[in-house]
Structure 1
Amino acid sequence: MVIKRELLIGGEEVPALDGATTGDHTPYNGELYATVAAGKPADVRRAVDAADKAFTEWAETAPSARRRIFLKAGDVLEARADEAVEIMAREVGGVHGWALFNAGLASNILREAAAATTQPLGEVLATDTGEALSLAVREPVGVVGAFAPWNAPLILGVRSFAVALAVGNTVVLKPSEDAPIACGLFLADVLREAGLPAGVLNVVTNAREDAAAVAESLIADERVRVINFTGSTEVGRIIGTTAARHLKPAVLELGGKNALLVLDDADLGYAVDAVTFGAFTNAGQICMSADRVLVHRAVAEEFTTRLAAKAASLPHGDPADTGTVIGPLIDDRAAQRVAALVAEAVDAGARVLAGGGEPDGARHAATVLDRVTPDMRIFAEEIFGPVCTVIVVDSDDEAVAIANDTPYGLTAGVLTEDARRGLALARRLHTGIVHVNNQTVDDEPQAPFGGVKSTGYGRFGGRWGVEAFTDTRWITVAGKHAGFPF
């Protein structure tokens, strides 16, 4: 049965003003999964109207009341995990384990948002003005424009709005055209079930051809004060430039070209398992995926042989099958792009150790390449598919130099049994996140998450997320009448 969903505006499910809809297809077999309302700029204005109208009352809602809603939302999402798993399989090709991980982490992001409701929102400042009280006070900004991507739809969908709402803002959410339900409407259902008032979270879905116009109208609306975008660096540049043109701050979490260093003292069994997880989880469609493995020459031959065998053994197939590890990419075009990167590299001298070949629709084999050189596109471009490249290095210094030789800077990992050596290398890596003796795909809702360089700016998690979605005001209270010179 094909699911049908409308926009969510002011707590009501409503069609687009012109009645337009768009199709939402299953990556594994191309079947129509859902039809959703195809919003336009006029629908964005309706959503911002609703968010703006709801703002004052929501901002004045007691922190304890907001906390109860987010705690309940975490429990609701956890209880609906099986439903979330089915949605992710049908809508984005997410395999069972990945979908359960999404549901679990997204539930905890909601609980961490509950904690944000009662974080300190100011401090007392030193002042030279007599008996005056000088305060720095953080207050909600108003309406936040949020953009959620398809690849980790529950995690990144919740992250796009949770803390912004928790600290008293209202939100208009534009979910990805590839996952309008998983990263948008389903999550809004969870929040409504938890008691979120009407108009506090609004969702505008759209057809792919209208994406630019919808995004522009959301950013341009003068009542929208902060933009939150997670997605590709290419689109993030457009979002960031548009926000800057309207003098609005943006939180941008963009692409990555993440390196995982395997040192000569690493436990090779553990390293193979760690790299396999970091490279092939969600078919490599994660901004944190490890698509560059920098391995010391002393252990390279054994490590690479074992990694290739492990990659070749991973079960591929229907994401609805609980035994599947590698599901489809988001669509046939994405699989063809990955295959082209591999083929170009092979033509230029790279060697396929596992996988490779032509994709089957949206499905691409888990692939390991070595003999990759800097002149190949795959050396520099984010792969965003089930492919990792193995690059042999002769020293820690060479590994660091290669790892840093990229415009991206999201995450990295250092696999070593010497924590001091790993920490020393971690301090030299130009990324927002480094994991010593772990792989690159890791996330905790209370930690500062974000990158540097072309991976964007701003941080999610803990007090950093609160800072991103509040304004700091300076307020003074005079202790006595001041003296004036005239």
Structure 2
Amino acid sequence: MADTLSNDGLPFTSLYINGAYRPASMNATFPVINSYTGRIVGHSASASPADCVEAVEAAHRAFPAWESAPLAFRRDVLLKAADILESEDWKNKARKALKEETSSTEGWVSFNILPGPGALRNVAGMVNELKGDTFPSVNPGGKVFVQRRGHGVVFSVIPWNGPVPLTTRGVAIPLICGNTVVCRPSEYSPRIIGLMIDAYHQAGLPPGVLNFVPMSREDSPTLIQQIIAHPLVRKVTFTGSDRVGRIIAAEAGRHLKPCLVELGGKSPAVILEDADIEDAARSLVYGGLFNSGQICMSTERIIVQRPALEPLIAALKKHTAHLKIGDPSDPSTLLSSLFTEGSAENVVGLLKSAQEQGAEVILGDVTREGSVVRPHLIVGVRPGMELWKRESFGPILAITPVDTVDEAVELANDSDYTLVASLWTTNVYNAFEVGGRIRAGSVNINGPTMNSEAGEGQAGLGGTSGYGKFNVESFTDRRSLILHAEHRSYPFMGLT
């Protein structure tokens, strides 16, 4: 699939339905544009309503055999796919696609590609969690056998910003649990996500178990609504913005379908006065600026006790001074463009709005060059400002000084975005006492917000950061088989 070329010699991404690659039924396509250069770098088939129905129906037909397949078979398909992700041929194709489609720097390419095989093997190991239970029934002599069974067809919407790990999460976890999948990739990165689909195909995934329906930005709202409404779709997953997440969750709710969403983050980093400032600053630059801040776990709010404020600012300036920004084709570039010019304009707008309300920009010029925004350090961001409330998804280190630990915790919890947090202190007691009061899916003590533990899933506690976790519990049903004793009596009806 990834080797197919369109008429202009650029890569072409096909649909993948019922085990076969093909163009859209109406031959519709859309271009894929590099955000740094503004040039077209590929084309993708754009699914039609009929294509989407066919994908759902193929997944439904494949479900009984896939769910009943031996766990070892499901595991081995994913392990073989992991081997493919480890091959030089696949990595070279993925590296090229990431750079062309998402303007990725060498660092972000490595972050996506290198952990991929290990992450997929971890998912394959989830077969060990697909165990049931047995216990005596409330009815004398009876037994209850509880099984973990797949839901059926899962509709999974994958974003552009971390295509390798997020496709593993949104596709492989439902698959190992016995579900079949219809995958809709971001229109910004269909080729790299298509390469992930290709690895499953080469690994011997049976036809229909996984289906891939890229679609244009213009067609997406209608087609996504259509797929969610399809009676054969049993569950919906989405990773992306809270704006779109609300729409998808509401649509799933209309049809009473379970929906797992992992959205944005407004992750706080709390710096107590006894913190190791040098280590904290290095972590904040990594957690706040890697991939130009376009990560759901990026550090969005730095809440610091006043005695540590000036030393922290000095350390942040020192560690941002060396960052090379611009052309991602240069291996020495550390920060590239944002994914669209609209996103860059949004980031600049948030900075300007905070300035107008009294915050001070002490690093950066509050401008953009096309889709490139340089790192900004802004002090005095406070509740009520848009920059405090909204995920910036940009290279901004926003600092809020506080006096007390209680004030720091209160502000850390002053957000609907509860994905992850960070806490810096050299006092072990404070680490656990204060960390336990921060309301987040996970709190990294003396480490970056940009961290996810294998097997724990990644999700907030509700609100706009998301609902549920990508784990076995979320992608299986617990179903009971109740064995009744022979010759049961029914005394209430006089039957003995």
TM-score when normalising by structure 1 = 0.96
Which residue number in structure 2 is paired with residue 10 of structure 1?
18
1:282 Cα deviation after fit: 0.8
**Alignment-mate amino acid for residue 93 of structure 1:** S
Q: Which deviates further from its counterpart, 471-480 or 62-71?
A: 471-480
- Alpha-carbon distance between aligned partners in 1 of 2:122 and 2:291, rounded to the nearest angstrom: 24
- Alpha-carbon distance between aligned partners in 2 of 1:125 and 1:391, rounded to the nearest angstrom: 54
- Alpha-carbon distance between aligned partners in 1 of 2:20 and 2:290, rounded to the nearest angstrom: 37
Q: Which SS does the other structure have where 1:202 is aligned? A: strand
Which of 118, 121, 126 is matched with 1:111 structurally? 121
Which of 29, 54, 61 is matched with 2:69 structurally? 61
Pairing 1:206–2:215 present: yes
- Alpha-carbon distance between aligned partners in 1 of 2:14 and 2:345, rounded to the nearest angstrom: 32
Which residue number in structure 1 is paired with residue 287 of structure 2?
278
Pairing 1:269–2:278 present: yes
- Summarize deviations over 1:37-87 as a string: whole Å, max 9, x none: 111222110111111121111112111111111112112112233332221
**Alignment-mate amino acid for residue 10 of structure 1:** N
Pairing 1:473–2:479 present: yes
- Alpha-carbon distance between aligned partners in 2 of 1:372 and 1:119, rounded to the nearest angstrom: 44
1:105 Cα deviation after fit: 3.1
8 A contact 1:410–1:451 mirrored in 2: yes
1:211 Cα deviation after fit: 0.8
Which residue number in structure 1 is paired with residue 333 of structure 2?
324
Q: Which SS does the other structure have where 1:443 is aligned? A: coil
- Alpha-carbon distance between aligned partners in 2 of 1:261 and 1:13, rounded to the nearest angstrom: 49
8 A contact 1:312–1:366 mirrored in 2: no
- Alpha-carbon distance between aligned partners in 1 of 2:364 and 2:39, rounded to the nearest angstrom: 26
Identity %: 35
- Alpha-carbon distance between aligned partners in 1 of 2:457 and 2:36, rounded to the nearest angstrom: 34
**Alignment-mate amino acid for residue 51 of structure 1:** A
1:367 Cα deviation after fit: 0.9
Q: Which SS does the other structure have where 2:41 is aligned? A: strand
Q: Which deviates further from its counterpart, 408-417 or 367-376?
A: 367-376
Pairing 1:260–2:269 present: yes
8 A contact 2:25–2:50 mirrored in 1: yes
Which residue number in structure 1 is paired with residue 343 of structure 2?
334
Which of 93, 99, 108 is matched with 1:83 structurally? 93
1:353 Cα deviation after fit: 1.8
- Summarize deviations over 1:207-254 as a string: whole Å, max 9, x none: 101111111111111111011111111111111111111111011101
8 A contact 1:81–1:100 mirrored in 2: no
Which residue number in structure 2 is paired with residue 124 of structure 1?
134
Q: Which deviates further from its counterpart, 273-282 or 134-143?
A: 134-143
Which residue number in structure 2 is paired with residue 28 of structure 1?
36
1:331 Cα deviation after fit: 1.1
Q: Which deviates further from its counterpart, 19-28 or 472-481?
A: 472-481
1:348 Cα deviation after fit: 2.5
1:107 Cα deviation after fit: 2.3
Q: Which SS does the other structure have where 2:329 is aligned? A: coil
Which of 243, 246, 265 is matched with 1:237 structurally? 246
8 A contact 1:311–1:368 mirrored in 2: no
- Alpha-carbon distance between aligned partners in 2 of 1:375 and 1:64, rounded to the nearest angstrom: 53
- Summarize deviations over 1:462-486 as a string: whole Å, max 9, x none: xxx1111111212111243211233
Q: Which SS does the other structure have where 1:53 is aligned? A: helix
**Alignment-mate amino acid for residue 121 of structure 1:** K
- Summarize deviations over 1:414-433 as a string: whole Å, max 9, x none: 01122321111121111111
1:306 Cα deviation after fit: 1.7
Which residue number in structure 1 is paired with residue 144 of structure 2?
134
Q: Which SS does the other structure have where 1:154 is aligned? A: helix
Which residue number in structure 2 is paired with residue 154 of structure 1?
164
- Alpha-carbon distance between aligned partners in 1 of 2:141 and 2:383, rounded to the nearest angstrom: 64
- Alpha-carbon distance between aligned partners in 2 of 1:229 and 1:354, rounded to the nearest angstrom: 35
**Alignment-mate amino acid for residue 113 of structure 1:** V
- Alpha-carbon distance between aligned partners in 2 of 1:399 and 1:82, rounded to the nearest angstrom: 45
- Alpha-carbon distance between aligned partners in 2 of 1:447 and 1:363, rounded to the nearest angstrom: 34
Pairing 1:402–2:411 present: yes
Pairing 1:227–2:218 present: no
Which residue number in structure 1 is paired with residue 181 of structure 2?
171
Which of 392, 399, 407 is matched with 1:390 structurally? 399
8 A contact 1:317–1:326 mirrored in 2: yes
1:160 Cα deviation after fit: 0.6
1:144 Cα deviation after fit: 0.5
Pairing 1:416–2:425 present: yes
TM-score when normalising by structure 2 = 0.94
Q: Which SS does the other structure have where 1:421 is aligned? A: helix
8 A contact 1:67–1:117 mirrored in 2: yes
8 A contact 1:342–1:356 mirrored in 2: no
1:388 Cα deviation after fit: 1.4
- Alpha-carbon distance between aligned partners in 1 of 2:459 and 2:114, rounded to the nearest angstrom: 20
Q: Which deviates further from its counterpart, 79-88 or 93-102?
A: 79-88
1:118 Cα deviation after fit: 3.3
Which residue number in structure 1 is paired with residue 79 of structure 2?
71
Aligned length: 481
8 A contact 2:134–2:146 mirrored in 1: yes
8 A contact 1:141–1:470 mirrored in 2: yes
- Alpha-carbon distance between aligned partners in 1 of 2:92 and 2:456, rounded to the nearest angstrom: 27
Runs of 4+ in 1 over 3 A off after TM superposition: none
8 A contact 1:311–1:354 mirrored in 2: no
1:93 Cα deviation after fit: 1.5
8 A contact 1:109–1:162 mirrored in 2: no
8 A contact 1:368–1:388 mirrored in 2: yes
Q: Give the 5 Å matches for 1:89-108.
A: 89-108=99-118
- Summarize deviations over 1:370-398 as a string: whole Å, max 9, x none: 12233321121111001110111111111
8 A contact 1:352–1:370 mirrored in 2: yes
CA RMSD of aligned residues (A): 1.4
Q: Which deviates further from its counterpart, 122-131 or 397-406?
A: 122-131
8 A contact 1:294–1:393 mirrored in 2: yes
- Alpha-carbon distance between aligned partners in 2 of 1:125 and 1:177, rounded to the nearest angstrom: 49
Q: Which runs of 5+ in 1 are unaligned?
A: none
Q: Which SS does the other structure have where 2:128 is aligned? A: coil
1:136 Cα deviation after fit: 2.0
8 A contact 2:136–2:142 mirrored in 1: no
1:264 Cα deviation after fit: 1.1
